[in-house]
């Protein structure tokens, strides 16, 4: 049986619909894949920016000086060289050594530290050569911790005191800080 011209037009219309539907589905798939990779790239760039801020927040202990009473006093310095403030900052001062182990470290809540600034905390030197530890939240709300050797780790804040136990220490601007 011979097909009529009318039947052939109907077949080509069906094929055209199938091909255009497949092309549209392929285009959506390509768009979805490219969108996913763009999203991941933007997320990784944001993570690098956030960790870049955390890398610019440091702490160290400046040498001990003997006061009038003969007590050796040191200074723990917390410096924020980033362009953004950090919050919930807590510095942990090394404990004293009594021959059988270290006394529990002293936890000092500093709160917010503005951009390009430093906070100095004076304390009685207990252990020679042991650094201060630090916990803080970056501008994205991520928690960061520095151990007493200065290594930086992302994670929950290491704090035992409540925010109401915040102490007051003067904040000084860091000269020449470009953030």
The number of CA neighbours under 13 Å toward the Cβ of 62 is 12
- Supply φ then ψ for residue 143, to 5 degrees: -85, 140
Query: Is the whole model's pTM more than 0.85, yes or no?
Result: no
Q: Tell me the DSSP string of 114-175.
A: -TTEEEEEEEE--STTPPPEEEEE-TTS-EEEE-TT--EEESS----S-GGGBPP--EEEPT
Tens digits of pLDDT across the chain (179 residues): 566 655 555 677 787 888 888 888 888 888 888 888 787 887 777 666 658 899 999 998 887 777 787 777 888 899 999 999 999 999 988 776 666 665 677 888 999 999 999 999 888 776 555 678 999 999 989 999 999 888 999 988 877 665 555 667 878 888 888 66
Give pLDDT, residue 106.
82
SS3 of 82, please? coil
- Supply φ then ψ for residue 66, to 5 degrees: -85, 130
């Amino acid at each position: 049986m011979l097909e009529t011209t009318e039947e052939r037009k109907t077949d080509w219309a069906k094929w055209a619909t199938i091909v255009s539907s497949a092309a549209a589905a392929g285009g959506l798939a390509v768009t979805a894949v490219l969108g996913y990779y763009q999203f991941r790239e933007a997320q990784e760039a944001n993570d690098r920016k956030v960790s870049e801020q955390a890398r610019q927040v440091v702490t160290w202990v400046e040498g001990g000086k003997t006061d009038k009473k003969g007590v050796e006093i040191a200074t723990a310095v917390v410096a924020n060289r980033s362009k953004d403030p950090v919050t919930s900052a807590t510095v942990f001062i090394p404990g004293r050594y009594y021959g059988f182990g270290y006394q529990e470290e002293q936890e000092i809540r500093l709160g917010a530290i503005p951009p390009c600034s430093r906070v100095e905390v004076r304390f009685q030197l207990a252990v020679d050569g042991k650094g201060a530890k630090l916990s803080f939240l970056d501008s994205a709300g991520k928690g960061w911790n520095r151990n007493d050797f200065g290594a930086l780790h992302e994670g929950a804040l290491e704090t035992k005191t409540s925010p109401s136990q915040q102490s007051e220490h003067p904040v000084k601007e860091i000269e020449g800080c470009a953030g």
